[in-house]
Amino acid sequence: MSLAHGRHYLAIPGPSVIPDRVLAAMHRPAPNIYTGEIVEIVASLIGDLRALARTSHNAAIYIANGHGAWEAALANPLARGDRVLVLASGLFGHGWAEIGRRLGLAVEVIDSGKRAPIDPARLAAALEDDKAHEIRAVLAVHVDTATGVRNDIPALRRVLDEAGHPALLMVDCIASLGCERFEMDRWGVDVMVAASQKGMMCPPGLGFVFFNEKAAGAREARGDPSAYWDWTPRSAPQDFYQHFAGTAPTHHLYALREALTMLLHEEGLENAWARHEKLARAIWAACEAWGAGGPLEINIPDPAHRSHAVTTLRLTAPDGTALRDWLTERAGVTLGIGLGMAPPGDPAWHGFFRIGHMGHVNAHMVMGVLGTIDAGLKALSIPHGPGALEAAACEIARA
């Protein structure tokens, strides 16, 4: 007997839950790509993507996952041999750094480890050492999906401004866009990357690069992207079918149209941010109650630096893996693995798990995940404190 039959819930930090309406929007015959509805949809998407990123600048749509968007963001404004500084706070910062190395960039990494945000003072010190202004870009991940940390992007901008340093500020918002406050123009971000399958509630397959005029200028002056990755045609809605460098990703565009309607025009972006924060606080309240009587710990100790889209948890190995397996097989919930928290093959790897709470997630889904984790801790006799569901319910009741 298993209690997993019924609708399965994939509670990993991407791909996230796809709303039925988004799935239904894709369930239709192929459209003409040269005229008609799909052309109009693309024009409307560019405007909505700008609203989602809080920018009046450019939005380029790629048929790619986040890794493609990472590469596009670097290949356009930078040239082989350029120095870039990566501020890593988990696996994804290191991943972006590796893409840069493979493009021939001279990559330096400042690593804040696995449990803390980027320290702006370390950026200040690095810029101080760069009197010749050789560093052309500073890269940071807004929410590192591996560690669950959220970095203070405006603080990085202030450091660049105070140093009078001209480097581009590039931010990976793949996990956070649509979930956490992000304001590209107000925060002075020059380039931002996103992908469709997390807070944007769509299937994986679309990557986005947002860039301002300063970054566009760098593209003209230095960049040498291949024809496929060139962001100039892709960000021009009038070049509709050329700007995908081939056939448009028609059904992904239908999905994105529906998802952005839900997020921006029905719920409202500020409300979506508030929902994510409230649900995150319910999850933390439960985790803190469990942790009061056992080894479970939220990876990021300071709530001010925790993501509202993903929570990384620490248990004693191998209980993280045992708990995940129990939930999938017995309760119909799949939790995320501990990505990059310990080397693959190291037994410590089995001590971690993650809860994805990004995108199409509401109070009953979060209470369901927490309730089944509570059951799993009990079934597996993993020591834990009482009152976790009570604590989460009180947090939701206060909303």
Ligand X SMILES: *Cc1c(COP(=O)(O)O)cnc(C)c1O
Stretch that binds ligand X, among 116-124, 172-180, 317-325, 373-381 (CB under 6 A): 172-180
Q: Provide the minimum distance between the beta carbon of 340 and ligand X in the complex, in angstroms, as a whole number.
A: 11
Does position 65 interact with ligand X (CB under 6 A)? The reply is yes
User: Which CB sits closer to ligand X, 15 or 225?
Assistant: 15
Shortest Cβ contact with ligand X: which residue?
A: 66
Q: Which of 31, 188, 204, 387 binds ligand X (CB under 6 A)?
A: 204
Burial track 173-191 (b if 16+ CB lie within 10 A, e otherwise): bbbbbbbbbbebeebbbbb
Q: Provide the minimum distance between the beta carbon of 36 and ligand X in the complex, in angstroms, as a whole number.
A: 30
**155 phi/psi in degrees, rounded to 5:** -65, -35
Does position 117 interact with ligand X (CB under 6 A)? The reply is no
Q: Provide the minimum distance between the beta carbon of 286 and ligand X in the complex, in angstroms, as a whole number.
A: 23
Show the site string, 178-197: x = touches ligand X by CB under 6 A, - = not.
Answer: -----------------x--
Q: Which of 21, 67, 214, 278 binds ligand X (CB under 6 A)?
A: 67
Per-residue 3-state assignment (H helix, E strand, C coil) for the chain: CCCCCCCCEEECCCCCCCCHHHHHHHCCCCCCCCCCHHHHHHHHHHHHHHHHHCCCCEEEEEECCHHHHHHHHHHCCCCCCCEEEEEECCHHHHHHHHHHHHCCCEEEEEECCCCCCCCHHHHHHHHHCCCCCCEEEEEEECEECCCCEECCHHHHHHHHHHHCCCCEEEEECCCCCCCCCCCCCCCCCCEEEEECCCCCCCCCCEEEEEECHHHHHHHHHCCCCCCCCCHHHHCCHHHCCHHHCCCCCHHHHHHHHHHHHHHHHHHCHHHHHHHHHHHHHHHHHHHHHHHCCCCCEECCCCHHHECCCEEEEECCCCHHHHHHHHHHHHHCEEEEECCCCCCCCCHHHHHEEEEECCCCCCHHHHHHHHHHHHHHHHHCCCCCCCCHHHHHHHHHHCC
Stretch that binds ligand X, among 169-177, 180-188, 268-276, 388-396 (CB under 6 A): 169-177
Count of positions on this chain that bind ligand X (CB under 6 A)? 13
Q: Provide the minimum distance between the beta carbon of 234 and ligand X in the complex, in angstroms, as a whole number.
A: 17
Q: Provide the minimum distance between the beta carbon of 390 and ligand X in the complex, in angstroms, as a whole number.
A: 31
Q: Provide the minimum distance between the beta carbon of 195 and ligand X in the complex, in angstroms, as a whole number.
A: 4
Q: Which of 174, 296, 366, 388 binds ligand X (CB under 6 A)?
A: 174
Does position 372 interact with ligand X (CB under 6 A)? The reply is no
Q: Provide the minimum distance between the beta carbon of 156 and ligand X in the complex, in angstroms, as a whole number.
A: 16
User: Which CB sits closer to ligand X, 76 or 145?
Assistant: 145
Q: Provide the minimum distance between the beta carbon of 271 and ligand X in the complex, in angstroms, as a whole number.
A: 23
Stretch that binds ligand X, among 45-53, 167-175, 217-225, 339-347 (CB under 6 A): 167-175
Contacts of 198 (CB under 8 A, 6+ apart): 13, 14, 15, 16, 145, 174, 175, 177, 178, 179, 309, 358, 359
Stretch that binds ligand X, among 65-73, 179-187, 331-339, 374-382 (CB under 6 A): 65-73
User: Which CB sits closer to ligand X, 67 or 222?
Assistant: 67
Stretch that binds ligand X, among 78-86, 137-145, 227-235, 367-375 (CB under 6 A): 137-145
Does position 223 interact with ligand X (CB under 6 A)? The reply is no
In the chain, the amino acid numbered 246 is G
- Beta strand 149-150 with 143-144 is antiparallel
User: Which CB sits closer to ligand X, 273 or 290?
Assistant: 273
Q: Provide the minimum distance between the beta carbon of 391 and ligand X in the complex, in angstroms, as a whole number.
A: 27
Q: Which of 66, 203, 336, 338 binds ligand X (CB under 6 A)?
A: 66
Q: Which of 16, 55, 145, 151 binds ligand X (CB under 6 A)?
A: 145
Interface with ligand X (CB under 6 A) = 14, 65-67, 92, 141, 144-145, 172, 174-175, 195, 204
